[in-house]
Amino acid sequence: MDYKLYALTTCPFCQKVIGFMKKNNIEDKIEIRYIDEEPAYKEELVEGGGQKQVPCLHYGDTWLYESDDIIDYLKENLL
C-alpha cells in the first residue's frame, strides 16, 4: 500500500503522529508531505480529501483524519 501523511511542520497533532511513526520504526513506510513547504501538496490534500485539515493519512481511496484515528490505524495495519 502506498501511504502519504499530509502534515504541517508546526502542528502538534501532526508531530504526535510522526513521533508515533518514529518510535515504532515505521517512518520509512509512509511518505510525509508537508503542506506548508510544498503548495502542490496542499492542493492534493484539498482536491483528494475535500478539506485542508491535517494530519491526514492517504492510502488507496481513503483520506483518514484525526491523529488518534491515524495512530489506531497504524497500530492495526503497520505494526
Which among 2, 16, 7, 3 is positioned nearest to 67, based on CA atoms?
16
The pLDDT tens digits for 6-55 are 999 999 999 999 999 999 999 999 999 999 999 999 999 999 999 999 99
Query: Is 90 exceeded by the pLDDT of residue 75?
Result: yes
Q: In the structure grid, which three cell numbers stand for residue 15, read together?
A: 508531530
pLDDT of 5 > 90? The answer is yes
Q: Could you identify the residue written with the cell 502538534?
A: 12
* Residue 50 confidence (pLDDT): 94
Cα gap 9→5, rounded to integer Å? 12
- Rounded CA separation 26/38 (Å): 23
Query: pTM (2 decimals)?
Result: 0.95
Domain residue ranges of the chain, discontinuous segments joined by +? 3-74
CATH number of 3-74: 3.40.30.10
Q: For the CA atoms of 61, 11, 53, 56, what is the dihedral angle to 10 degrees?
A: 10
